[in-house]
Amino acid sequence: MTDKEMKEEIESIAQELDEKGYAIAVNYGLPYIVVTDSSGEVVINEQGDDAQHTIDDAEAASEKFDVNDEDWMLYHLEGAGML
C-alpha cells in the first residue's frame, strides 16, 4: 500500500467512526486518550505510558501519512479491535 493509499484509508476509517458518533479527546500533557461512542459512553480510556505510546505513534504516523493525530488514533484503535 502506498503512503497515499494509507492516508486515504486512515481518513476513511476515521470519517466512518465519526459518522457513527465516536469522539476522541487527547491530552498531550498528562497524557490521556478518551474515546466515547454515540451515547457518550467511554469505550477507551488510556492513561500514562499506554497513552503516551499511542500519542508517539500517532505523531510519527501523522508526519509520514499527512493525517491528523486523532484520525490515526481512531484508525489504530479500530484496527486493534477496540472500537
Domain count, the chain: 1
pLDDT above 90 for 48: yes
Q: What is the pLDDT of residue 83?
A: 87
Identify whether the C-beta of residue 31 lies closer than 8 Å to the C-beta of residue 47: yes
Tens digit of each residue's pLDDT (9 = 90 or more) over 8-35: 999 999 999 999 999 999 999 999 999 9
The 10s digit of each residue's pLDDT in 33-45 is 999 999 999 999 9
Residue 12 lies in domain? 3-79
